[in-house]
């Protein structure tokens, strides 16, 4: 388990948008997220965002807004898998975000870095 870095870093995108991120690039305040931030982080992770990526990102953000907590990876897998099942969702999750839910999907969706996490 890794503690969330306490040292904030200011990030300014080429379009002038400014963000405060932790030492690992996660937003310190999810309310400051923009699609521009998501695109910037995705590019830095080597990901070109498709409609399917945005579908999951929007779901993560909606779940956090509705429930006050970001959804666990197992719920994301269930969401992605739908009627095809959790295994299909897991496969799609790692196809979309090869380095994982927390390392890429959560960061791109603008969530804070989790202190501890179940990978489902």
Q: Which two tokens stand for residue 116?
A: 């501890």
Q: Residue 120: pLDDT band by 50, 70, 90 thresholds?
A: very low
d(CA 54, CA 115): 25
Is the pLDDT at 101 greater than 90, yes or no?
A: yes
Note the pLDDT tens digit of each residue in 32-85.
999 999 999 999 999 999 999 999 999 999 999 999 999 999 999 999 999 999
d(CA 46, CA 50): 13
95-114 b/e with 16+ CB inside 10 Å = b? ebbeeebbebbbbbbbbbbb
- Of 5, 10, 97, 24, which Cα lies nearest the Cα of 56? 97
């Amino acid at each position: 388990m890794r503690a969330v870095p306490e040292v904030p870093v200011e990030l300014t995108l080429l379009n002038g948008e400014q963000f405060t991120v932790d030492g690992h690039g996660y937003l310190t305040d999810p309310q400051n997220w923009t699609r521009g931030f998501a695109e910037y982080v995705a590019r830095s992770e080597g990901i070109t965002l498709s409609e399917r990526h945005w579908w999951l990102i929007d779901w993560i953000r909606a779940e956090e807004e509705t429930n006050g907590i970001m959804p666990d990876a197992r719920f994301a897998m269930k969401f992605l898998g739908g009627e095809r099942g959790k295994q299909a969702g897991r496969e799609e999750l790692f196809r979309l975000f090869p380095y994982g839910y927390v390392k890429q999907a959560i960061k791109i969706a603008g969530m804070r870095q989790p202190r501890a996490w179940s990978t489902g």
